[in-house]
Amino acid sequence: MRGNKNNMKLSYNEGTGIGCSSLEKDLVLCEKAGFDYIEIHAALLLDYVRLHPVKELKDFFAKSRLKPHAINALFTYPELFDPKNTGKALENDRAMLAYFLSCCQIAKEIGDHYFIIVNPMLSDSGSLYVPHGINTVDYPYSREQVTDFSVRILRTLSPVAAQYEVNLCWEPVCGRGCSVRTLEHAWEIVKETGCSNVGLAVDSVNLHLNGKLNDFSAIRKVPVDKIFIAHINNCDDRPVDELGPADRRFVDSGEIDLNNYLSNLKAAGFKGPVSIETLRPEYYTWPAEKVVAEAYRTTKELVDKYR
């Protein structure tokens, strides 16, 4: 493992270069760059196991200083795992559970102990697995309804994950069209589950979507052992209703006060991983080597001030 054990570790989220790379390539590039961890994109993981035995991935991590940390992600929706589901809704439940189980089985084999679970949000894509949140319409459920179906979803996934020694990272996306608009609400949901393997994933852009407050002090109200991972990123200066995944960028520029974000993580006692996650199509036009190298250089330069 790289660095002092008390320092924040650095991780690479594969969404950053998903349009120009693969898991095979990212493993080599992330190890070369100096990342401590890799946050594996589930789609790239499943692409990998179509062509390689899982043992190859397990052997890589056994020999490498780079380690897996989390699989990203399972996108939820209000009807997921509702006991009343029939027909197409029940088929969707089965598909999501099969996807989740497949990833958890691989996670146990390779020593990956976390899975990102994203709160429900309005979708403009029609994709079951990778919806895209929209910010121009209010989420049509009350806070109490959101809490109820979120707790149900997490309580359904928790014992399944526990069989594979996997923890669930509940990630709030706080835009207008999203169900969990604040970190406080996300933490309330995690507490209500009563599940020891359920915690939080915090993300600077996702929290910033809550009115562009640039105040991350709520992080210090969550027990540090319940913050399982912190995503870091910046974004373009755009009206909040227009901000989307394509506006995410590396941490060396943008409108988010990342010093506020990191200082609150440090004050909370968080040690990492801090995982760079951008979903910017511009970066997909670059060679993967450049994406990973720039992701490491810019993230390390910032995070080094806080470790």
How far apart (Å, rounded) are the C-alpha atoms in residues 2 and 70?
A: 18
Q: So what's the pLDDT on residue 242?
A: 87
Are residues 95 and 128 in contact, defined by beta-carbon separation less than 8 angstroms? yes
Distance from C-alpha of 6 to C-alpha of 271, rounded to nearest angstrom: 6
Q: Answer whether residue 87 is part of any domain.
A: yes
41-59 pLDDT, tens digit each: 999 999 999 999 999 999 9
| Confidence class for position 3, pLDDT limits 50, 70, 90 | very low
Residue 115 lies in a domain: yes
Number of domains in the chain: 1
Share of the chain above pLDDT 70, in %: 94
**pLDDT per residue as tens digits for the range 163-172:** 999 999 999 9
Q: What per-residue confidence (pLDDT) applies to 133?
A: 63
Domain-embedded: residue 101 = yes
CATH of the domain at 46: 3.20.20.150
| Confidence at residue 136, expressed as pLDDT on a 0 to 100 scale | 77
Is 277 domain-assigned? no
Residue 138 has pLDDT above 90, yes or no: no
- For 167, the domain range is 39-243+253-267
pLDDT in tens, 205-245: 999 999 998 999 999 999 999 999 999 999 999 998 888 88
CA distance 38 to 30: 7
Q: What is the pLDDT of residues 108-128, one digit of tens each?
A: 999 999 999 999 998 765 555
pTM confidence score = 0.95
Cα 286 to Cα 188: distance, rounded to the nearest angstrom? 40
Predicted local confidence at residue 126, as pLDDT: 54
- Extract the tokens encoding 157: 């996934």
74-109 residue pLDDT tens = 999 999 999 999 999 999 999 999 999 999 999 999
Q: Does residue 182 lie within any of the structural domains?
A: yes
Q: Is residue 290 part of a domain?
A: no
Residue 8 within a domain: no
Within-domain flag for 33: no
What's the rounded Cα separation, in Å, for the pair 132 and 105? Answer: 27
